[in-house]
Amino acid sequence: MDVTQLDGVSLILGALATGAGDGLKQGAKSAMTATVDAVGGAAASSLEKLVAMVRASFRSDAHAIEDLNVHLRRPSAETSAALSTHVIEAGLNTDTQVLETARAVFAEAGPAAVGTGSVAANIINATAARGGHTHIGGQQQYFGGESNHPR
């Protein structure tokens, strides 16, 4: 799966799910430890940065924060569906800094992050099956599914 071809919602939801696999957690922890050792100070992984960015954008929406926390604990098609609306409403799916950080999460996690059967790949596929969507030029765009909004 080529993460550079994903719409913003799928990219963010998939990136947030990368921490769910034990192997990915260990890989991210090792990469972070190496970074800290190399620079001699505290460093945050891209996943931690992404979570902080998303959480900050939801600061006044307790429901969005709860949906984020649930998705981080147990990412699934259902938790990603709930979170996707908040991601769009906050404009994260078009925020270039958030999208760059989400891509960096996948780069740090490695190819296994989007391998067949991985949690992140399942989230991305479920988002696409629901009709992954994003806003382009102020209009909502749908990919792979029908809109339930009037045109």
Q: Is 131 within the bounds of a domain?
A: yes
Residue 148 lies in a domain: no
What's at 97, amino acid-wise? Q
Is 150 domain-assigned?
Answer: no
- At 52 the pLDDT is 95
What average pLDDT is seen over the chain? 74
How far is the C-alpha of 13 from the C-alpha of 120, rounded, in Å? 8
In a domain, 125, yes or no: yes
DSSP string, 55-99: HHHTTT-HHHHHHHHHHHHS--HHHHHHHHHHHHHTTGGG-HHHH
Residue 5 has pLDDT above 70, yes or no: yes
Q: Is 29 within the bounds of a domain?
A: yes
In total, how many domains does the chain have? Answer: 1
Angstrom distance (rounded) from CA 64 to CA 72: 12
Q: Tell me whether residue 147 is in a domain.
A: no
Query: With 80 as the cut, is the pLDDT of residue 131 above it?
Result: no
DSSP bridge partners of 67: none
More confident position, 19 or 150: 19
pLDDT digits (tens, 9 = 90+) for 20-72: 654 444 444 444 444 444 444 455 799 999 999 999 999 889 999 999 999 99
Asked if the structure places residue 151 within a domain, the reply is no
149 belongs to a structural domain: no
Q: Which residue range forms the structural domain that includes residue 81?
A: 3-142
Q: Which residues pair with 134 in a beta bridge?
A: 141
Task: Give residue-wise pLDDT tens across range 72-96.
Answer: 998 888 888 889 999 999 999 999 9
